[in-house]
Amino acid sequence: MSEDVIEFYPQGVCSQAMVIKIEDGIIKDAKIFGGCMGNTQGVAILSKNRPVEEVIKLLEGIQCGDKGTSCPDQFAKGLKEYLKKKEAQKVAQ
């Protein structure tokens, strides 16, 4: 079993930090600090037990007002960064 805990610091939104636990490509837990509590709790709960790639597809590109991004979009960006790092680790081995 492969387990990772990632910390992501979103840009351009109200949330300040995201901590996501991933086991074998499945999101097992997520905590979002700051931002609109109902929205960020919803993103965290709805992402649980879903594959990373599925959550990225669902959340990527969601906008909040005229910010050009949103907390869900930033969550997806954090997951994409995680996948890039995992791929780079595979290539390096």
The order of strands in the sheet holding 26-34 is: 3-8, 15-23, 26-34
Backbone dihedral region for residue 87 (phi beyond 0: left; psi -120 to 50: alpha; all else: beta):
alpha
Here the CATH number for the domain that contains residue 65 is 3.30.390
User: Region 17-39: what's the mean pLDDT?
Assistant: 96
State the DSSP H helix or E strand holding residue 66, giving kind and residue range, or none if neither: none
Q: Where does the pLDDT of residue 84 fall: very low under 50, low under 70, confident under 90, or very high at 90 and above?
A: very high
pLDDT above 80 for 1: no
Q: What is the mean pLDDT of the chain?
A: 95
More confident residue, 1 or 42: 42
Using only C-alpha atoms, what is the Rg of the chain?
A: 13
Number of domains in the chain: 1
User: Can you give the pLDDT at residue 26?
Assistant: 97
Cβ-proximal residues to 73 (8 Å cutoff; 6+ apart), any chain: 59, 60, 61, 62, 63, 64
What residue numbers bound the domain in which 49 lies? 3-92
